[in-house]
Amino acid sequence: MNAFDMLLALALLLTAWRALAASDLFKGSVLFIVFGLLMAIAWARLTAPDIALAEAAIGAGLTGALLLDAVGHLRVGRRPRAQGSTEDGA
């Protein structure tokens, strides 16, 4: 364990926290993709190249695509209703 591991651990915890705390879901999803890529590096540090490969392709790539897709759907899906309701005060 060295300074790099410390930094990586800090970055992991920080991105995870920011991804959860972000009020904008698009921002949260992008931060989660960053988190996935950092996880891939963590797996490499743990001498687990198999998991690092899978995490980079799946954890960051595929999950990110799915999440961003859902965010896009959310924005399109909400628009018609937003006009009819006063909830958002728009």
Partner 1 sequence: MSRWLGVSVVLLCTLLALALVGAMLVLPDAPVRLPGEVAQRLGESGVDHAVTAVLLNFRGYDTLLEVAVLLLALLGMLAAGVAPLRPAPFAADPLLVALARTLAPLMVLVAGYLLWAGAFRPGGAFQAGAVLAAAGVLLRLAGFLPAWNAPALHLRVLLAAGFALFLLVAAAGLYFGAMLRYPQPGAGALILAIETGLTLSLGLILAGLFLAGPETPRARGGA
Partner 2 sequence: MSIGLFYALVGGLLFALGVGGLILRPHLLSKILAFNILGSGAFLVLVGLGQRDGTPDPVPQAMVLTGIVVAVAATALALALARRLLDLSGDMVLPGEKAADEAEAGDQEAAPGDGPRGGA
Select from partner 2, partner 1, none the partner in contact with residue 7, using the beta carbon and a kind-dependent cut-off of 5 to 8 Å. Answer: none
Residue type at position 45:
R
CB 74 within 8 A of CB 47: no
Select from partner 2, partner 1, none the partner in contact with residue 28, using the beta carbon and a kind-dependent cut-off of 5 to 8 Å. Answer: partner 2
10 is a site residue for partner 1 (CB under 8 A): no
Classify burial at 31, counting beta carbons within 10 Å of its beta carbon; exposed 0-12, middle 13-18, buried 19 or more: buried
7 is a site residue for partner 1 (CB under 8 A): no
Give me the count of residues in the chain.
90
Q: Which residues bind partner 1 (CB under 8 A)?
A: 49-50, 53-54, 57-58, 61-62, 65-66, 69, 72-73, 76-77
